[in-house]
Structure 1
Amino acid sequence: MRLMSRKRCRQRQRCRRRIRNCGSVALVAKRENLPGQKDDNYQVVRGISPPDLPEDILRHIHAKMTLRDAARAACASHTFERSWICFPNLTFSPKTLGLNGNASTDVITRDLISKVDQILQNHSGIGVKTLNLDLLECGNIDFSYVESWLHIAVTPGIEELILSPPLVTFSVYNFPCSLLSNGSGNSIQYLELGHCTLHATVGLGCLRSLTRLHMFRVRTSGDELWCLLSNSSALVHLELWYCKEIISLKIPSLQRFRFLDVVQCDSLQEVESNAPNLTKFRYSGLLGQISLGGSLQVKTLRMICPSQTNILCWYAHNLLSIAPNVETLTISSSSETVNTPMLSGKFLHLKHLEILLGGMAAYDYLSLVSFLDASPHLEKFVLAINQHRMEHDSILGGPSHDLRQIREQRYDKLKNVKISGFCSAKSLVELTCHILENTTSLDCLTLDTTSWYLRCSVTKSSKCYPLMDRDSLVEAQKALLAIRRYVLGKVPSMVKLNILEPCSLCHTVEPLM
């Protein structure tokens, strides 16, 4: 018994030395009331080792674990302990480090600095593939720590770098571009920067492997961004969100570039792309001068302009020169004070058209046939109207023969039509009837009188969100009455008609006579 006791004592001592050698591993692995932690220690004490597999396979298994599981495995195995010092996927955030989310910002910041600092100080810096520093929930942080962490982990071979400094230090932190020189930037494939300043003209290395770049609230100029893009010959995907200091965005002639996404860059006045193979362009914000180099490859175009008027009129005159071969088109306008004119040409490849409109009093919805007439191969048409405070001339009370008739135009490819926010506006009913009378291929017509409200069947609260106000409910009842009077009789028997009305569980309104 004494011999067995001594043997167990030596095993415990070896276990303690192994855990001490792990350094910061124990910090990550430690978690109060964590199920199975005692079992792990018990297995270590008993000398239970991982499966008898080649070390390279075990390292691969270790690399697939989460940070916390990898740290715990390193405490339990010599093999995993050796691979821990070159663990490839380093994702640091209060959640991945198991910090107390209910603690104060200062406590979270202090604990995160302690753990990250110890982990990286014990890391060899070799083999890092992903570094994700998510510091958004932290308070003021000494940027010398961030600099130190970046210089340890950003080494040749790294593939993903994600940096999100604290919100309270928005745009104060200057990202060190010199970090990407000396070969460290050659292997980066994905770069995401948020809430910082980027001066890409100094010390920037060649980012020859970079395929995707995402900037969120980054302070940089158009010239500095041009310098960064010019050093990224393999770039495929660029996202710029809320980068408010860019006035002119110019894309170099990048042969592999396919996707451009610009969201609310408020100072932006010009977008010019010289990339010959750009296929998808998404834009949200103030509409300025846009030139895609006459690219014949742009297939998907999404333009959301929530604070500008008469955008449809602008498209009617300019769309053909921007993307003549577009296949999927989404456009948005807050208000139209003039009717949509005839488009300047034909879109022979357009198959999916979505138009989002704010509620407008004087707009003639029937003028939207100009888009339909210009799209002979259109298969799906979606019209979404915001009903909030909408004013219009209702068709109710007028004679049925008062519906306008315009010249016939056959839509032989159109199969699916959806109108969300359908109301009793006379011109909207006329547009619906025109589509029914001139479409021979229609399979489904959906008329949604509730706009884009979420129904109780899909919300966590089991109630519609937001609840429709009384004016919207009354208008929905008018829309249903208009459908019964003017639309139902024109729907062919082979067309499936879907009529969506306010949820009876969450809304109560007396039907109109």
Structure 2
Amino acid sequence: MMVLKKRRTPRSLMIQKRAEEVDRISELPESIIHHIMSFLSHKDAARFSALCKRFRSAWNSFPFIVFNETLNLGSCGDDLYGEAKVNKFLKYVSGFLQQRPPNISLERFRFCVDLFEGYDKKTHHIDGAIGYAIENHVKELELDFGEGPAHYRFPLTVLSAKSIRVLKLKGLKLGSGHKDLMLSHPFVESLSIQFCIGLKTLRVSCQNLKIMEIYSCKGLKMVAVDESNLESFSFLGDVSSTRKSDSCSINIAACKSLKCLSLENAQITGEWIKSHIPNFLLLEDLKLECCELLKDLYVSSAKLKTLELSDCSQLKKIEAVAPNLEYFSYIGQKGLSLINIGACRSLKDLTLIGARIEDEWIVSAVHEFPFLKNFRLFGCSSLQKFNISHEELETLQIVDCDALKEVQIYARSLDTFVYTGGCTKLPKFLIDSACFKAELSLCNGSKFSSRLFLELRDFLACFGHCRELQITCRSTDILIVPGDLRDSLVPPLYDLKHLKLHISDPNLDELKDLVDSLLWLAPHPYTITIVSGYEEKSLKVIISK
């Protein structure tokens, strides 16, 4: 009797058959494939297109185009420089665009290349790429030619393209140096101009404009926005110029709908703030940085929620009347003499860096903010001894307040306490809180004496009852307490259950002595964790009777 054996299908054919059976993506409509590709980076989307002909076809009609000199050339451009590299990149751009079918509406077109001096006369390839985007009704156009000297003259005819909703220009020539530009595009919603030259006056009147950014445009003397629908305005003055004659005046008083205002290196005064801010009835975020002409600042706003002041070196007085303000941050010099924000009763987050404030200011200010959650003090060298009593405070951070001697904290909701300072003249902290985490960063001294170890022991004793203690230091020297002191002193962290140590420059030969010392500092821990670099070692301690 003959037995017929069933012929086995080769494994490769079985895998291929299964792949064909479960392949559903290639059968999706092209619009869905485009949607999937939109969540990928440009590089990954290009790889995705190589999987099958269907994906390749979708890639050629993909409405998001990104040309980046470094990204597109990859390793092929590593050995090319100057004109040869730019030519190869532009050749790639031309070849890519020629493969695409006609009349494909573009959502986004981004073109990034660094041009060298002298290439401004050979830009017909760039003109062609921009023309392709305009012809295909691009909605978001971004041209990035770097932060260096501008060598490409932007064709102003692009500004009349009715399809553009988002326009981002960086590192271009926008005029002849004596040019006044009046931008009245009716459909643009977001406008960004960065590191561009050739303009002295920029007037903007776009009825749909919501977001506007002007960054470091050399030679710009005046910016005027005559549009009430603008919601966000950001300005960064030319950082390369130190002459007052190169300053740029800003006129945005007509922007009645403004919600966010950021001015950096702007030549504005306290009078400018007084005359403009009352016009912005919806203003929620105000940021002023490196505004050298500001001396006395008075801000009155009913809707303001965030106020950030940074490096305004001439600022002597700050007064804010903003009942809905939730976040206040000051970074500056020690010349500041007065901060009056007591009217900001809704404050939740307060940061002061380099402020010359006294102990009494801390005591009175904290009581005025019943909703305060986070309080940070950096480099406030006038502080010596103060009390903080607050039921809602969750985070307190004290960094490099060198003159500090004693702080008493009554905060039942305190979750995190952070201290950074030197190992000498350590302050005393009395913290009345049920359960908090303490993070201490200690700068190592040159030589540790018995007196310094006694001071350190008294300092650490302030944190013996916390939920977790984390200590950060450069080397292990600071925490290896000499044996004779251990015999005569009471351990400072007697009740601590979790101790974590971060060491940036550990001495492995001292590891045993370090563990012994840590077990003396905290005699009854549940865990001791030592972190060095990317390595973390944890000890689970079992105490036997």
TM-score norm. by structure 2 comes to 0.59
SS at structure 2 position matched to 1:161: strand
Alignment partner of 1:357 is 2:400: yes
Alignment-mate amino acid for residue 372 of structure 2: V
Q: When you count helix as a share of all residues, which structure comes out higher?
A: 1
Alignment partner of 1:326 is 2:372: yes
What percentage of residue pairs aligned between the two structures are identical?
14
Residues 208, 233 of structure 1: 8 Å contact kept: yes
Aligned length: 388
Distance in 2, matches of 1:215 and 1:209, equals: 17
Mean Cα deviation higher: 206-215 or 148-157: 148-157
The Cα shift of 1:261 comes to: 0.5
The Cα shift of 1:163 comes to: 1.2
Deviations 1:231-261 (A, max 9, x none): 2222111110010111122222332x21010
Distance in 2, matches of 1:223 and 1:76, equals: 46
Aligned to 1:157: 208
Aligned to 1:342: 387
Aligned-residue Cα RMSD (Å) equals: 4.5
Residues 461, 492 of structure 2: 8 Å contact kept: no
SS at structure 1 position matched to 2:379: strand
Alignment partner of 1:291 is 2:331: no
Alignment-mate amino acid for residue 442 of structure 2: G
Alignment-mate amino acid for residue 160 of structure 1: I
Distance in 2, matches of 1:280 and 1:228, equals: 21
Specify whether residues 293 and 317 from structure 1 end up closer, same or farther in structure 2 by C-alpha distance, changes over 3 A only.
closer
Alignment-mate amino acid for residue 222 of structure 2: F
Distance in 2, matches of 1:190 and 1:288, equals: 31
Alignment of 1:69-108 (within 5 A): 80-84=133-137, 87-89=138-140, 91-95=142-146, 108=149
The Cα shift of 1:333 comes to: 2.5
The Cα shift of 1:158 comes to: 1.8
Alignment-mate amino acid for residue 192 of structure 1: S
Aligned to 1:33: 88
Alignment partner of 1:43 is 2:99: yes
Residues 129, 159 of structure 1: 8 Å contact kept: no
Residues 432, 487 of structure 1: 8 Å contact kept: no
Residues 449, 479 of structure 1: 8 Å contact kept: no
The Cα shift of 1:278 comes to: 0.5
Distance in 2, matches of 1:293 and 1:234, equals: 22
Alignment of 1:80-229 (within 5 A): 80-84=133-137, 87-89=138-140, 91-95=142-146, 108-109=149-150, 111-112=151-152, 114=153, 116=154, 118=155, 120-124=156-160, 126=162, 129-132=165-168, 134=170, 142=177, 144=179, 154-166=205-217, 173-177=220-224, 180-181=225-226, 185-195=227-237, 197=247, 199=249, 204-229=252-277
Aligned to 1:492: 495
The Cα shift of 1:229 comes to: 1.6
The Cα shift of 1:273 comes to: 1.9
The Cα shift of 1:155 comes to: 2.1
Specify whether residues 220 and 496 from structure 1 end up closer, same or farther in structure 2 by C-alpha distance, changes over 3 A only.
same
Aligned to 1:13: none
The Cα shift of 1:129 comes to: 4.4
Alignment of 1:260-339 (within 5 A): 260-286=307-333, 287-305=336-354, 308=356, 311=357, 313-320=359-366, 323-333=369-379, 335=381, 339=384
Residues 273, 299 of structure 2: 8 Å contact kept: no
The Cα shift of 1:313 comes to: 2.0
Residues 90, 128 of structure 1: 8 Å contact kept: yes
Alignment-mate amino acid for residue 82 of structure 1: E
Specify whether residues 251 and 335 from structure 1 end up closer, same or farther in structure 2 by C-alpha distance, changes over 3 A only.
closer
- Gap runs ≥5 in structure 2: 1-66, 73-84, 114-123, 184-198, 239-246, 445-451, 518-545
TM-score norm. by structure 1 comes to 0.63
Residues 130, 160 of structure 1: 8 Å contact kept: no
The Cα shift of 1:290 comes to: 2.0
The Cα shift of 1:480 comes to: 3.7
Deviations 1:6-30 (A, max 9, x none): xxxxxxxxxxxxxxxxxxxx9x999
Alignment-mate amino acid for residue 319 of structure 1: A
Residues 431, 462 of structure 2: 8 Å contact kept: no
Residues 351, 377 of structure 1: 8 Å contact kept: yes
The Cα shift of 1:266 comes to: 1.3
Specify whether residues 348 and 489 from structure 1 end up closer, same or farther in structure 2 by C-alpha distance, changes over 3 A only.
closer
Residues 236, 264 of structure 2: 8 Å contact kept: yes
Specify whether residues 90 and 190 from structure 1 end up closer, same or farther in structure 2 by C-alpha distance, changes over 3 A only.
farther
Structure possessing the higher radius of gyration over alpha carbons:
2
Deviations 1:332-378 (A, max 9, x none): 23535x731334xx211111000012556xx53xx12x1x2x32321
Residues 128, 157 of structure 1: 8 Å contact kept: no
Alignment-mate amino acid for residue 237 of structure 1: D
Alignment partner of 1:64 is 2:67: no
Aligned to 1:230: 278
